[in-house]
């Protein structure tokens, strides 16, 4: 009697989120940085990390593009690239005073938030910016609002922070904007709470379309897989939020920066269907390395 050889284990099924990886604003900034590195006759500096991805920052360093924390670290007569998150406009003023050539790589969506916040401050609204106060994008947005003498602007990352943040400030007219990478639910919760006490509100939903699409696609995919692998910088807000969205959908999520972090991960063993998504500041080559490794698993 012939024995039938046992079937070899089938390969894991890998599904990729419809929207993931570089957004248009990040791609524009990265392209501008590498172009400046090869064409500028002056030393090139970036004020703060261009994007929240350590691997891209390392590649820029290889091209002699230096990342600094303040204008004081940039020699007079150099070239300075403004990060995608934008900066407090006072830094640009300081750079120009030192005869530094400023090239602005602020994401167009971030610039739109800066403009809205400035408009609200000019119209005498108390400005509430939904996001982490220490995040560079929020620092830049608040800096633009504060250009208006007597402006009142606060940052909150949840509705629970509102009462303390607004203590002693006028609450009858409130204007609200949000960090472009904020979770939509958090933004709506803040708006709902402000609506309970403000007599007049002006609200701009400034979550960027790319962020919304990534979060929606990640949540949708999370329902169809056993495990989500989220690729991107650990210091990236939008990537961290993608992992949160997946977990909120009831699916375990592993947040990694590189393929080495997912290799032999214990959660891979039991997962038959694996979903993959990536933050807006994650380059395609990092994503492909992870996908190729996952596809090699049996």
Q: What are the structural domain ranges in the chain?
A: 13-21+210-295, 24-106, 109-207
User: Chain-centre distance of CA 149, in angstroms?
Assistant: 30
109-207 is classed CATH 3.40.1010.20: yes
- Whether 16 contacts 282, CB under 8 Å: no
pLDDT at 54: 94
pLDDT at 4: 33
Structure-token pair, residue 191: 């708006």
- Model pLDDT for residues 55-114, shown as the tens digit of each residue: 999 999 999 999 999 999 999 999 999 999 999 999 999 999 999 999 999 999 999 999
Report how far apart the first and last C-alpha atoms of the chain are (Å, whole number): 30
What are the C-alpha distances in Å from 130 to residues 8, 46, 76, 189, 282?
A: 52, 26, 36, 10, 24
Q: What's the maximum distance between 2 C-alpha atoms anywhere in the chain?
A: 92
User: Chain-centre distance of CA 145, in angstroms?
Assistant: 21
From the candidates 137, 219, 244, 257, give the one annotated as an active-site residue: 137
H or E stretch covering 112: helix 108-122
pLDDT at 10: 52
pLDDT at 7: 37
Is there a common fold for 13-21+210-295 and 24-106? no
pTM for the predicted model, two decimal places: 0.85
pLDDT at 298: 73
Walk along the chain (298 residues) in steps of 10 and give the mean pLDDT of each run: 39 94 93 95 95 95 95 96 95 95 96 98 98 96 96 97 97 97 95 97 95 95 98 94 96 98 94 97 96 92
What are the C-alpha distances in Å from 128 to residues 60, 104, 112, 132?
A: 35, 25, 15, 12
Task: Order the strands of the 13-16 sheet from edge to edge.
Answer: 13-16, 273-278, 227-231, 253-256
Structure-token pair, residue 228: 């989500």
pLDDT at 5: 35
Reply yes or no on whether 137 is catalytic. Answer: yes
The SS3 assignment for 135 reads: coil
pLDDT at 230: 98
pLDDT at 3: 36
CATH of span 13-21+210-295:
3.40.1010.20
pLDDT at 11: 80
The CATH number corresponding to 24-106 among 3.40.50.2000, 3.40.50.11270, 3.40.190.10, 3.40.640.10 equals 3.40.50.11270
The SS3 assignment for 138 reads: helix
- Model pLDDT for residues 168-188, shown as the tens digit of each residue: 999 999 999 999 999 999 999
- Whether 225 contacts 255, CB under 8 Å: no
């Amino acid at each position: 009697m012939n024995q039938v050889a046992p079937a070899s284990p089938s390969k894991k099924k890998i599904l990729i989120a419809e929207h993931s990886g570089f957004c248009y604003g990040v791609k524009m900034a990265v392209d501008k940085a590498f172009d400046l590195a090869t064409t500028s006759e002056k030393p090139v500096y970036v004020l703060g990390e261009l994007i929240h991805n350590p691997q891209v920052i390392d590649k820029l360093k290889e091209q002699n593009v230096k990342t600094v924390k303040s204008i004081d670290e940039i020699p007079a007569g150099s070239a300075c690239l403004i990060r995608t998150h934008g900066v407090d406009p006072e830094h640009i003023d300081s750079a120009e005073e030192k005869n530094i050539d400023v090239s602005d790589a602020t994401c167009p969506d971030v610039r739109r938030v800066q403009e809205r916040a400035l408009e609200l401050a000019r119209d005498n609204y108390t400005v509430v910016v939904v996001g982490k106060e220490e995040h560079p994008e929020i620092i830049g947005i608040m800096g633009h609002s504060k250009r208006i003498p007597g402006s009142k602007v606060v940052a909150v990352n949840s509705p629970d922070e509102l009462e303390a943040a607004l203590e002693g400030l006028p609450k009858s007219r409130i204007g609200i904007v949000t960090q472009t990478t904020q979770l939509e639910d958090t933004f709506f919760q803040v708006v709902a709470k402000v609506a309970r006490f403000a007599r007049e509100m002006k609200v701009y939903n400034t979550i960027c379309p790319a962020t919304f699409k990534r979060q929606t696609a990640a949540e949708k995919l999370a329902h169809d897989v056993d495990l989500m692998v989220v690729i991107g910088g650990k210091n990236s807000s939008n990537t961290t939020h993608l992992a949160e969205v997946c977990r909120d959908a009831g699916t375990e999520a592993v947040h990694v920066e590189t393929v080495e972090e997912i290799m032999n991960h214990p959660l891979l063993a039991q997962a038959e269907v694996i979903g993959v998504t990536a933050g807006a500041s994650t380059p395609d080559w990092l994503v492909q390395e992870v996908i190729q490794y996952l596809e090699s698993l049996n």
